[in-house]
Amino acid sequence: MTVNRTSKVRTCAIALAAGALVLTACSEGGGSGSDRSTEPTMEAQGIALGSAADSTGPAKEVPGAKKGGTVRVLQRDAYEYLDPGQIYVTDELIMQTVYNRTLTNYQVDDRTGKTKLVGDLATDIGRSSDGGRTWTYTLKDGLKFEDGTPITSRDVRHSIERLYAKYQTNGPLYLQQWLSGEGQTFRKALPDGPYGGDHLPASVLDTPDEKTIVFHFDQPRAEVPFAVAMPNVGAVPPGKDKKEGYNKAPVASGPYKVADFKPGKGITFVRNEHWDPKTDPIRHQYVDRFEVSFGHQWMDSTRRLLADQGADKQAMTWNNAVDPAQISTVLKDREAMARSLTRTQPYVDVVSINTSRVKNKKVREALAWAFPGGQYLQQYGGPKAGEIAGSLVGPTLKGHNRDFDPFQKRKYPGGNIKKAKELLKEAGEEGYRIVYAYGNDKPAQDASVVVERALEAAGFTVEKKELDRGTYYTQIGKVNNTYDLYRSSWSADWPSGSTVVPPVYSGKNVYDSSPNYSHLNSPAINKEIERIERIEDLNKAAPEWVKLAERVLTEEIPQVPVFYNRLFTLWGSGIGGVKFHEPYGAVDPTAVFVK
């Protein structure tokens, strides 16, 4: 997954240091209708770029905060990965913020909610040289792992080199690919990772002393400060790395450490006594424990948080939404609304069409017209959960065109059944069999009913396949999966369209666990991706990525846009310090306290 360059590189580095970039969308019957609602208009989001001074700790104290207590976290989905190298989905991304630190990271202002990229383990967001081909990071003083061992550049290098090992299949690939080659070819540079004693050459990744990390790229890479904020660019002590076993026992560098992990049931985080707040401009350590339990469907977490009784007063969820069936009840409850938030998430929900199986473009077009986007969204909560989507690019991306809606999803929230039926007949594929896969959570189950009804009305034969929610993305992420249609979503990993179009639509990214869930491999689209990647001015590249996303939808139809996401969520009355983590689209736990 490559990324576009910046203007004359040198100017880009200056712009990066001085300004803010726009966060983009970064591991839901026929007839006319409207998606109008009283919800705020979705807009492009901004991330400011912090200075060395912004990168110093401690984090600003939260008014009224106090130490002590246990917070119970009610989560629907079990965590599949604790290993930062394998983390790439929302619930795990927000979870790892309590124990995992990276070279840079996102600082959310407790008062304004504004987001800033700052140095986390590093003293700043990085220093570039050689026209943007070299980036240097210096570690802060006083950094320690949970056992009191100092964190050094050796640990950072190990966290990166282990990503080359074959078992590391789920995390972001930006840094590895920039350093060592596109697609999966980067693995050839270090086939067994660092485990046999081999390392990347100093001409690629250098650690000249215990506090310095130097990246050398073969071309300018203006977006490195964002790439090293990903969870897999942190610190892993080589002596504690048991490969796959590290997933059960990651070594903490943040304010909390894993005390107990029961896969499929829950996880408990307790204070890490070796975390030094003077080194951390982002996190607090107010509560004694986070007790996270899995298996709480939205209905259950909403019921408990709304009732606000007993221990549930000190409960919250990091990304469970309010249950669609209880939204109206919550909206009428002034006390509950006072401990709720509704925020735009940087995600676009789509249904991916498996182009390896559904090869007839006219059939894919019929699916696009038939899919009941508005009715699907209703199963997830309607306007409180999102906005009907017409584009593969969300409104949080600079250049988003709100009028672009080639399959008239806003006009036909139940799908244009007549149009779809005509297309299927033209293709000579009436009765075409579609295997529709979906998760075993209630909104997805309810949505499968309206999808089946609409597609069968359009002339398709639908076979439904219910998948375990906990491994859903692993199953649809296999290239040889046996499904034709399945929901997926994507958020840009940082403020650039280069983290949307290439990862999701480049033919170089057709492999297991890739976000190219549709398996699209169009020579014309691949060529255009390469052209835009050569544009050195980020501002000039931005609209080009949007245009290409629109072209992907109209010319190839690998996905059907469904909705742009919102999060509407609650917490208990005994919880304070709640804020929204804009890049991850979830509740930020780093300032939470018990009242």
Is the pLDDT confidence value at 404 over 90? yes
Is the pLDDT confidence value at 35 over 70? no
More confident residue, 505 or 170: 505
Lowest mean pLDDT: which of 299-313, 318-332, 490-504, 505-519?
490-504
Q: According to the model, what pLDDT value does residue 421 have?
A: 98
> What is the architecture, at CATH level 2, of domain 44-288+579-594?
3-Layer(aba) Sandwich (3.40)
Residue 150: which region, alpha, beta or left (left: phi > 0; alpha: psi -120 to 50)?
A: beta
Break the chain into its structural domains and give their ranges. 44-288+579-594, 343-567
Prior bond of 58 cis (ω within 30°): yes
DSSP state of 150: B
* Average pLDDT in the chain: 91
φ/ψ of 290, rounded to 5, equals -110, 120
What class is the 343-567 domain?
alpha beta
Under DSSP, is residue 481 helix (H, G, I), strand (E, B) or coil?
coil
pLDDT in tens, 566-576: 999 999 999 99
Is the pLDDT confidence value at 18 over 80? no
Strands 45-49 and 115-119: parallel
Q: According to the model, what pLDDT value does residue 30 have?
A: 37
φ/ψ of 349, rounded to 5, equals -85, 135
77 and 320 in contact (C-beta within 8 Å)? Answer: no
Is the pLDDT confidence value at 113 over 90? no
pLDDT in tens, 421-480: 999 999 999 999 999 999 999 999 999 999 999 999 999 999 999 999 878 988 999 999
Is the pLDDT confidence value at 174 over 60? yes
- Record the tokens describing residue 108, joined without a space: 């959310």
Reported as type and span, the H/E element at residue 315 is strand 315-316
Q: What is the mean pLDDT of residues 521-540?
A: 90
How big, in percent rounded to 5, are the helix, strand and coil portions of the chain?
30, 20, 50
- How many CB atoms are closer than 10 A to CB 383? 19
Strands 579-581 and 586-588: antiparallel
487-509: string of b/e by CB count within 10 Å (b at 16+)?
Answer: bbbbbbbbbbbbbbbbbbbbebb
CA distance 381 to 329: 12
Q: What is the mean pLDDT of residues 131-142?
A: 97
586 and 91 in contact (C-beta within 8 Å)? Answer: yes
pLDDT in tens, 369-380: 999 999 999 999
Q: According to the model, what pLDDT value does residue 39 have?
A: 56
Is the pLDDT confidence value at 239 over 90? yes
Band (pLDDT 50/70/90 cuts) for residue 543 is: very high
Q: According to the model, what pLDDT value does residue 474 have?
A: 87
Q: What is the mean pLDDT of residues 198-217?
A: 98
CA angle 268/342/379 to nearest 5° reads: 90
CA distance 281 to 123: 10
Is the pLDDT confidence value at 311 over 50? yes
Question: Residues near 386 by Cβ (< 8 Å), separated by ≥ 6?
Answer: 28, 349, 377, 380, 563, 564, 565, 566
The pTM (predicted TM-score) of the whole model is 0.87
46 and 21 in contact (C-beta within 8 Å)? Answer: yes
Q: What is the mean pLDDT of residues 364-390?
A: 97
Lowest mean pLDDT: which of 7-11, 97-101, 282-286, 364-368?
7-11
Q: What is the mean pLDDT of residues 18-36?
A: 37
253 and 148 in contact (C-beta within 8 Å)? Answer: no
Q: Count CA within 13 A, CB hemisphere, residue 592.
A: 30
Q: According to the model, what pLDDT value does residue 24 have?
A: 34
